[in-house]
Structure 1
Amino acid sequence: MDYITVLSLQLCLLKLFLISYDIACQWFIHLLERIAQIDPSCPLLQPDVEIRFLVPKFHLPAHIPACRNRFAFMLTPGAGLGDGEAPERGWGELNPLATSTREMGPGTRRDTLDYHFGDYNWRKIIRLGDSLLKKMITATSDVAEHVIAHQELEATIEREQLHSWTEVMTAWELDPTNPNPYEVAVKTPTQAAVRRQLAEEEEKALAAGVDVSYSDEVSPCLLITMGIDFEGEQRSLKTLTKLLWEHSQDRQITRVKLQSNVLTRKLKEWFSHLQLYVPTSVLLQKREPQKKEIPKPFEV
């Protein structure tokens, strides 16, 4: 990757480089030292050059939170609405070649792919002007609307607070080593952390000889955990239900119906345990207005 980067920038005269790579957060470490060993005259080594390393948008969510803030396109001045995934799009156009290349030998296969990639890159370059013009027209036509929306948002913030935030943001944009204003200062517990905390509290209570469970099968901790899981299943089932339409295949409808039936039985069993720990839940269910149609599992 280092050698490819050096060759790609041999004749480049730019002063600002936004370099996108799937693992740029690791690759950029000591990169300039490695490049100096390959080509001391590389443009990236010039003293008046600014370099920002980014991670493509599709790959960024798989990184840790620190990477998502530091290497995000949306938070980098000059990146615009770029996503860094352009190299991946070539595969979509070359997928139809699979039926041909799989019958080829290694050498012919590589040559064929190289020819098609070369053609793809050539067409991309000659159409670059039209592409940039289209993006510029879109940007200039929408800029007024976004400026007004931003001004309206700023009007809702206290002037002192706004000035403080602006200073921190500007300092970070000029020098990424400064504190990142986009990092979340408050750490919210994850669902897994909450489950672990509940399990540990139950473990300590049992070790102390305190058991508040009214059921041998379902403890308060397990009841809450099951409820969280059911919420996820409800959202998933609701999404699948929305995808159905009048021309859906029988197997699609059957799959949704079976999942709905399973979830209905799970919820009924869960409500029976809930009554032990929250007796008023029975009254709340009775007070609900009776509906003509039986509610779907994701509506409970």
Structure 2
Amino acid sequence: MTALLPATDPDKIDQGLLEMVSRMVSYDAMCGWAVNLVTRFEKHHPELVPLIKRIVCLIPLVHVHNHKDNCTYCFASIYIKHAGHFHGETTEHYWPECNQLGPQTRQMNNGHRQDTLIDHHSDWNWKKVANIEATTLENDVAYAKRLFLHKRAHFQGLSQLYADQVPTWDKMDRNSHVKGPDKEVRCVYRHDQQKVPSQSAIYQFLLYSEAHRKEKADLNAAGLGKVAVFLNEGLNIARLQLELEALVKRNRLHPLESERVQINADREKLRTRISKWRSLQKAQMTSIGDQVLKQSVSKAFADAPESERLFLPSEFSPEERLKFDLITLARAEFQLREGAAFDALRSVRNIVKTLGTIGHEKKTQDYGQMRNTR
């Protein structure tokens, strides 16, 4: 973020302003480029070292998502002080338009290709100059003020909502630090992977809480342990329903006899599992018995148990949860679903890492026509 200085005598430039202005440099591979930045300037341009040390290195917000997690907390502008909403991608706004020239210039000779690209670049630059009145500094400042008021109101609302936590948060170090033998970045904005819950861990915690709870709470006349068993099984059944629905849709597009047999077998297993689970639901959610019975009598999903409604607490609106006395059950379900969400994230990360490793090994080991041809 460079200062916008008037074109006047350099001696009249406010040096104090120059000292206050943050200098931020954004580059796609800044995490690698910045490692030896100061060292190399000390060797080749020592007179510029004081200026270089004041530069804050960033990675554009779109590109940083393709980097390691460490880069996000060290180089993404959203975690850098004074960076604001700077995204660093403005220079690449033109690429989607420029990419359309690929098919047109593919078969041109070198001179014609360069002339065509120059013409389109010049047209883009001319449009920016022609529309400069709509993007003046005055308009930008006015918009920044409006945005500031909006963000400040939102920030004040959050501060009031979590007023009891603000003093504790203010004492926390907001800087990123590399700690441990794994050289992973630690900061207040990053979740500790060891503390991220899983559905299994939360399920065991709820069971443990029931076994060691001294004060019994009214949980629809049932203990927390029974609630955990009921909800955990319900979430597992919901997951099986989604998997079976996906299999049915795939078979409709590409019918296979083997898949049809598998679908019938899976439906029978799911139907039996739901039937057993309904007995638990009858004890835990007595207030919705009429709705469950109505669905059962209609037999609308007799042949498609994957579409049958389970009537979990999350399927009801807040008003309905209050009406049917499902608040406590909904809280326990929320905990289990949070763990399930983190389980899904771990699974996605493992898949991405596996595919990335396979791709890397293929590039280094499986090269040539013979190894890539069946």
- Return the TM-score normalized by structure 1: 0.56
Answer whether contact 2:60 2:87 (CA < 8 A) is retained. yes
Matched, 1:52 2:40: no
**Do the aligned partners of 1:275 and 1:282 also contact (CA within 8 Å) in 2?**
no
Residues 1:183 and 2:190 are matched in the alignment: yes
Local SS of the residue matching 1:151: helix
The answer on whether the counterparts of 2:77 and 2:85 sit within 8 Å (CA) in structure 1 is: yes
CA displacement at 1:35 relative to structure 2: 4.8
The Cα shift of 1:110 comes to: 3.5
Aligned equivalent of 1:270 = 266
> 2:87 — aligned with what?
83
Distance 1:105 1:90 in 2: 23
CA distance in structure 1 between the aligned counterparts of 2:106 and 2:117, rounded to whole angstroms: 11
1:145 aligned to 2:150?
Answer: yes
Q: Does 1:28 align with 2:34?
A: yes
C-alpha contact 1:264 1:297 (8 A) present in aligned 2: no
Cα distance between partner residues in 1 of 2:306 and 2:255: 8
Q: How does 1:198-209 map to 2 (within 5 A)?
A: none
Contact 1:20 1:84 survives alignment (8 Å): yes
- Matched residue, 1:19: 25
Match for residue 106 of structure 2 among 102, 105, 125:
102
Residues 93 and 48 of structure 1, relative CA distance in 2, 3 Å threshold = closer
Q: Which runs of 5+ in 1 are unaligned?
A: 1-12, 195-223, 238-254
In structure 2, relative to structure 1, the CA distance for the partners of 1:29 and 1:147 (3 Å cut) is: same
TM-fit CA distance, 1:87 = 2.5
How far is 1:261 from its partner? 9.4
Matched, 1:281 2:277: yes
Give 1:165's aligned residue: 169
Q: Who wins on radius of gyration, i.e. which is larger?
A: 2
1:52 and 1:264 map into 2 onto residues whose CA distance is 59
Stretches of structure 2 lacking an aligned partner (at least 5 in a row): 1-17, 179-185, 202-234, 283-290, 310-374
Residue of structure 2 in register with 1:113 after alignment: 117
TM-aligned CA deviation for residue 299 of structure 1 = 7.2
In structure 2, the CA distance between the partners of 1:129 and 1:69, relative to structure 1 (3 Å rule), is farther
Corresponding residue pairs, total: 234
Q: CA deviation at 1:289?
A: 3.3
Partner secondary structure for residue 154 of structure 2? helix
Q: CA deviation at 1:30?
A: 0.6
The alignment yields a C-alpha RMSD, in angstroms, of 4.9
Q: Which amino acid in structure 2 is aligned with residue 65 of structure 1?
A: D
Alpha-carbon distance in structure 2 between the residues aligned to 1:154 and 1:88: 36
The amino acid of 2:83's aligned partner reads A
Shift of residue 139 of structure 1? 2.7
Say which SS state the counterpart of residue 73 (structure 2) adopts. Answer: helix
Match in the other structure for 2:222:
none
Task: Judge conservation of contact 2:237–2:270 (CA < 8 Å) in 1.
Answer: no
Could you tell me which amino acid in structure 1 is paired with residue 22 of structure 2? L
2:57–2:75 CA contact under 8 A, matched in 1: yes
Deviation at 1:165, TM superposition (A): 1.8
Mapping of residues 216-231 of structure 1, within 5 Å: 228=239, 231=242
SS of equivalent residue, structure 1 residue 182: coil
What CA distance in whole angstroms lies between the structure 2 residues aligned with 1:152 and 1:293?
47
Q: 1:154 aligns with which of 155, 159, 174?
A: 159
- Structure 1's 115 and 185: CA in aligned 2 closer, same or farther, altered over 3 A? same
Structure 1 CA distance for aligned equivalents of residues 197 and 237 of structure 2: 18
Q: How far off its partner does 1:119 sit?
A: 4.8
For 2:26 and 2:305, how far apart are their aligned partners in 1?
46
Q: Cα offset for 1:154?
A: 1.2
Instruction: For residue 37 of structure 1, report the CA deviation from its aligned partner.
Output: 5.9
8 A Cα contact 2:27 2:59, kept in partner: yes
